Amino acid sequence: MTIDDLLLLTDGLTVPAGTGVMMCDRARIAPVREHSIDLAFLIAGTDFAPRLRLTRDRIAKATADEIAGIIRRVARRAMGGGWG
């Protein structure tokens, strides 16, 4: 997976939230040193803007499903839920 793929994956990614679904929006990626990136995104319709740091090596070796799972877990925790 590339950094560009990561942006496309995050923008519009759905997150189960109780009986509804939330959506990730406006993802931004910032380099952190040479080996990591900071990923920040807004959860549409909320004030929640989770951030996470991933190594470039982890992104390169991961599948889209693996990264989507990580982003969904971070989003759920940011919203204070243990949903789905």
| Contact predicate 1/62, CB 8 Å | yes
Q: Give me the domain span that covers residue 62.
A: 3-78
In a domain, 84, yes or no: no
In a domain, 8, yes or no: yes
What's the average model confidence in pLDDT over 41-57? 92
* pLDDT in the model for residue 81: 65
Q: Which tokens in the block code for residue 50?
A: 């989770």
* pLDDT in the model for residue 78: 85
In a domain, 47, yes or no: yes
In a domain, 37, yes or no: yes
Q: Which tokens in the block code for residue 37?
A: 């990136």
Chain centroid offset of residue 46 CA: 15
Tens digits of residue pLDDT in 52-62:
999 999 999 99
In a domain, 83, yes or no: no
